[in-house]
Amino acid sequence: MGEHPSPGPAVAACAEAERIEELEPEVEERPPAAPEDFDPGNTGYISTCKFRSLLESQSSKLDPHKREVLLALADSHADGQICYQDFVNLMSNKRSNSFRQAILQGNRRLCSKALLEEKGLNFSQRLIRHVAYETLPREIDRKWYYDSYTCCPPPWFMITVTLLEVAFFLYNGVSLDQFVLQVTHPRYLKNSLVYHPQLRAQAWRYLTYIFMHAGIEHLGLNVVLQLLVGVPLEMVHGATRIALVYVAGVVAGSLAVSVADMTAPVVGSSGGVYALVSAHLANIVMNWSGMKCQFKLLRMAVALICMSMEFGRAVWLRFHPSAYPPCPHPSFVAHLGGVAVGITLGVVILRNYEQRLQDQSLWWIFGAMYTVFVLFAVFWNIFAYSLLDLKLPPPP
């Protein structure tokens, strides 16, 4: 196929996939037949002949397009058997591998060429293809995304967060008359958005500290990583999932500081940024052979170098003599909290494109671990500071 038509067969196939998901309530609530009726030996498979007879008996309840795809699923199994779980996944609206496989192979409408072989694409189509190869490890997922992406809604979350961070930084720069190392200004910590250990009872500070940065050097790297990594990830996985990873990294970062670096304040969005970037890099490593992005080794090295430089800057600043003793400079532990979220919750989310997270056991395991950590940190903040008789810096 020399040119990607619009609308093309692939788009039509995707539209049919969406129609398949809108099954009648009676079909979704109760499968048309129990597995033992078609699998007396309890092998987990049913014959294609019995599967066809099942479809024939239920044809009046199925949309013709749905019936065609289900028949195509039977045709795609040359061994004469169909996994019953594949059938259940289709009928119960689970977006699983079997669902996408039935659309891609069974319906036989998506282009058989790899996306990289397509010619005559306009700029937006090339951009979508580039994002697909940047973030997704499997060709079937890349084709699915390429044909279904409509840019509606756009990647609004990362863009909005970035604009707010830049706006707050410019406002503080004007009000403090300082843009480089703003954190050294004596009035910097008086801002009600900064997390400060003396004001840890003000719960909003565990989140709003992302809008305050130590200086333009701190803001610059975070903004670049948010736009170069966060926006493509949001285009593929959606605002809800990316916001979940980002916010979880932000909260984990401030809570980690309150537990491990109890006397230090926190500023900057590094917790959320490191959660996204570490999840993306871990996903690339785990799917190395499937990721087809260009110069992936070099780009991973550059990303790691940038992250290391930013982390080194944060460590240096933390132990540099404070401009307003006895309060120390902001902590670097939030970076580590973000990385921990990225390689646990973040990896699970990025690995399961178009699949429901509640169907993944690792999602529940890492979700439970994150919940336990949050509860532990909350109780730590309530009781540990007084029990340890810790000398905190005075409130700003």
Q: Are 165 and 211 in contact (CB under 8 A)?
A: yes
Residue 268's alpha-carbon distances to 80, 94, 283, in angstroms, are: 58, 39, 25
d(C-alpha 123, C-alpha 244), whole Å: 30
195: Cβ–Cβ under 8 A, 6 or more apart, which residues? Answer: 205, 206, 209, 254, 257, 258, 265, 266, 267
Of 339, 319, 318, 286, the residue nearest 138 (C-alpha): 286
d(C-alpha 311, C-alpha 331), whole Å: 10
391: Cβ–Cβ under 8 A, 6 or more apart, which residues? Answer: 263
Residue 247's alpha-carbon distances to 18, 334, 338, 360, in angstroms, are: 30, 12, 9, 21
Token pair of 196, please? 């400060």
Signed CA dihedral, 57, 62, 65, 67: sign only: negative
d(C-alpha 219, C-alpha 307), whole Å: 13
Cα Dmax for the chain: 80
Q: Which residues are marked as active site?
A: 270, 335
Of 341, 365, 145, the residue nearest 256 (C-alpha): 341
